[in-house]
Amino acid sequence: MTPRRLILLSTFLAAGAIVNLAVAWGIAARAEIRWNPVGPGPSLSGSGPGWSRDVEFEILESLPHAETGARVNDSFAAGWPARAIGWREIQVLDRTRRQLVPEPTWLIVRGVEAPAPARAQLFSASEGRLPVLPLFPGFLLNTLFYTAALALPLGFIAIRRRLRIARNRCPACGYDFAGLAGAMCPECGAERSEP
């Protein structure tokens, strides 16, 4: 692969990843948890087009520390066509202080706080946080999807160029070379390509 094509491919992959992130953040901004009045009680879990939030409560029977009583595993994911980025948090209920305390683990990625004006009306399902944890294979699949969508116009240009060469026309402007023997296009000055 030539250096020029490698740079072009890298540029399109980076652009695909940026579009992937922008789409996921846009979905996270609009995601809302609707409280279900039917059932055992309100829940923070929910899902919608392009997002999901799961909150799991685990009662700790064998208590390693007498002050701990429950663990809360909270995760959020967003993206389209697959869930691509999210956040994850694990908290432990501290009975002595009567509050949830973050569990120290490398699996926790809380996300980045959204700007204050955005938190007021957006990001309700993600608790005002922008998801930043890449979720594989979703992140990779979405990036390739958006890269292909961004590169599609270049494919049409290459196909048009090949068709023009096959029909004995100038690849740049489409001028008909029938009856001409020169190496240059008389219309635009582009070099003539052989079919």
DSSP per position, 164-186: HHHTTB-TTT--B-TT---SB-T
Q: What average pLDDT score do residues 183-190 get? A: 88
Lowest mean pLDDT across 53-62, 131-140, 151-160, 180-189: 53-62
Residue 195, pLDDT > 60, answer yes
pLDDT reading at 59 higher than 80: no
Quote the crossing angle between the two packed helices 138-166 and 3-30, to the nearest 10°: 130
What is the value of pTM for the model shown? 0.75
Q: Is the pLDDT of residue 194 over 90?
A: no
Q: How many CA atoms lie within 13 A of 77 on its CB side?
A: 16
pLDDT at 147: 96
Place of tokens 């685990």: 58
| Closest C-alpha among 177, 183, 153 to residue 165 | 177
The backbone torsions φ and ψ at residue 132, rounded to the nearest 5 degrees and listed phi first, read -130, -5
Residue 163's identity, in one-letter code, is: L
11 and 17 in contact (C-beta within 8 Å)? no
pLDDT tens-digit series, residues 21-39: 999 999 999 888 765 555 4
Is it the case that residue 176 has pLDDT exceeding 80? Answer: yes
Residue 1 makes CB contacts below 8 A (sequence gap 6+) with 9
Whether the predicted pLDDT of 111 surpasses 70: yes
pLDDT of residue 41: 47
Residue 129 pLDDT grade (very low, low, confident, very high; cuts 50, 70, 90): confident
pLDDT of residue 44: 67
Q: Other C-beta atoms within 10 Å of 134: how many?
A: 18
Give me 79's structure tokens: 């993206």
More confident: 20 or 187? 20
- Confidence (pLDDT) at 107: 55
- DSSP states along 119-166: HHHS-TTTTTEE--EE-TTHHHHHHHHHHHHHHHHHHHHHHHHHHHHH
Greatest Cα pair distance in the chain? 94
- Angle value at C-alpha 135, between 134 and 139, nearest 5 degrees: 75
Q: Where are the domains of the chain?
A: 3-142
Mean pLDDT of all residues in 179-187: 85
Q: Name beta bridge partners: 112.
A: 130
The pLDDT value given to residue 69: 66
The single residue listed with the structure tokens 């699949």 is: 141
pLDDT at 135 over 90: yes
> Stretch 11-25: mean pLDDT, rounded?
96
Q: Which two tokens stand for residue 103?
A: 């569990």
